[in-house]
Amino acid sequence: MNTNWKALIVVGLLSSATTIAGFKLLESGSEQDVILKEAPAETLARFTSTGAPTGMPGDFTYAAEATTPTVVHIRSSMMRQASASNAQIPEFFRDFFGDSFERQRGPQRAEASGSGVIISSEGYIVTNNHVVEGAEELEVTLSNKRKLKAKVVGTDPSTDIAVIKVEESKLPSIIFGNSDAVKVGEWVVAVGNPFDLESTVTAGIISAKGRGLGIISNEYKKKYGNSGNYEGDSPLESFIQTDAVVNPGNSGGALVNLKGELIGINTAIASPTGSFAGYAFAVPASIVKKVSGDLIKFGNVQRGYLGIVLDDLDSRKAEEYGVKVNEGVYVSKFAPNSAGEAAGVKQGDVIVKVDGRTINSVPELQQSIGLHRPGDKVMVTVNRDGKEKDLSITLRNREGGSDVLKREEASVALSALGAQFDNLTTQEKQSLARYKIPGGVKVMSIQGGKLTRVGVEEGFIITKINGKPVLSVKELQQALAGKTDSMVQFEGLYPDSPAEIFTFGFRL
């Protein structure tokens, strides 16, 4: 049987599939950096078993003892609008709730759980975006069994990273290691809460680095559309692959080296069943540190771009493109206002290094550039006609400038719903008038956003937002303007049962 294993990747979340666009509950960007603990460079010798033969595993007790106090259990809860049809409900959500959930309409309480890692003694915790998206309430259980309420600071769907915060100080926090320096074959330890089993430790080795699997890309495009038109504009994937056992519930947990230093956040598993089948994938600590720092400081991620459309190279493509090397990233064309083009990069160049680091694939290039902000300078080495050339490039934001980008609140709020809307016909209005409902806005098509995640079907009529009637698409837009990062309550009905009113809410 010739099965595409990439199609078997599943996100390692215990229950809910409530994946909704990024949001922020605390005050917007503090413009202050949070101090994270970073490890100095030092040898691994004292952390391995004394006199252990070559090829034998080291002593994992130090890593486990250092890491376990910094890993938390996260439980999220949300209200979902159940659907009479299961067509819009993701498979793993249906499996969790069973047939009884599918046959209902109306608000249903859903729960999900995962893991998180304390990155600052002030209570900042990093986890996966899919662990906390759509949550109305978050409860964090510390390693000492204390339970605390948490709030979302910010989320980044493009890397599947989120930051939450508990109001507690002097918490134990993890030390960030150098994920770029880890080597294939190196021993690692995964710490998390699989299947609600708190503080579970497993060990394995690093199987590969720089994996671009398309799993975040597929989910991102499904929920938010394909807005990216050049390198890294949407999802950024460069996973660390490991054979340490990771299962649903490990999402957001720590992957550490034998010194107990964070080298990744466990995010996904390769599995035909939803349980561990040999390989797991973690977001590298370098990306985690950059993304979490931006979320805390700015409220959203500030990513620098080259503005180049890219393609991986191999011997076949090298011959097709007529280039002198078959390793690196081929420059296919440029986005408008491209930073790379302005600095002298030409179509047909092959990018082989960034700041002296060898680049072999698009994910590696995306990671190297994605760790920088607009306005940062990078040294890019290109191979042009068989000769290498260094170019200093000042990165730009996705709009071609160098400023910090603020989110367009109204458009973000509306697009996050993931649907097309239309005004009601005269006949539809007359039908509602019998029930003393003045009108509403009809959901014409579902495209995979927040409405999908709460089970709303095509044909649903939104009649009120936050208790106020909406009678047209224009009024819908006005009602949502300025509501990003706020809790929004919807009220509506289906034309085939107009007397049955449904109410549900989520954060935009």
380 compared with 35, residue with greater pLDDT = 380
Render pLDDT for 353-363 as a digit per residue (tens, 0 to 9).
999 999 988 88
CA distances from 260 to 74, 251, 377 (A): 21, 18, 32
Using pLDDT thresholds of 50, 70 and 90, give the confidence band for residue 418.
confident
pLDDT tens for each residue of 429-450 = 888 888 889 999 999 877 666 7
Q: In this predicted structure, what is the pLDDT of residue 481?
A: 77
Give the position of tokens 């309420």.
149
Please give the model's pTM, rounded to 2 decimal places.
0.69
What CA–CA distances, in Å, run from 415 to 278, 312, 393, 402, 446?
A: 38, 32, 33, 25, 11
Which pLDDT score is estimated for 218? Answer: 57
Contacts from 50-58 at CB under 8 Å and sequence distance 24+?
57/187, 57/203, 58/187, 58/258
* Confidence grade of residue 116 (pLDDT, cut at 50, 70, 90): very high
- Which domains are seen in the chain, by residue range? 5-298 (2.40.10.120), 308-394 (2.30.42.10), 409-507 (2.30.42.10)
What pLDDT was estimated at residue 20?
26
What is the bridge-based pairing of β-strands 37-38 and 175-176? Answer: parallel
Annotation marks residue 130 as catalytic: yes
95 is known as an active-site residue: no
How far is Cα 249 from Cα 148, in angstroms, rounded to an integer? 19
Query: Active site residue: 251, 286, 292, 415, which one?
Result: 251
What are the tens digits of pLDDT across the range 197-250?
888 999 999 999 988 776 655 555 555 444 433 344 457 778 999 999 998 889
Q: Which of 156, 160, 294, 349 is catalytic?
A: 160
Q: Which residues are annotated as a binding site for substrate?
A: 130, 160, 249-251
Summarize the annotated binding site as residue ranges.
Answer: 130, 160, 249-251
User: Whose CA is closest to 351, among 336, 365, 337?
Assistant: 365
Rounded (5°) CA angle 442-447-451: 60
Given a cut of 50, whether residue 101 has pLDDT beyond it is no
**Higher pLDDT, residue 37 or 383:** 383
Catalytic residue chosen out of the listed positions 130, 158, 234, 286: 130
Q: Reply yes or no on whether 160 is catalytic.
A: yes
Q: What pLDDT is recorded for position 30?
A: 56
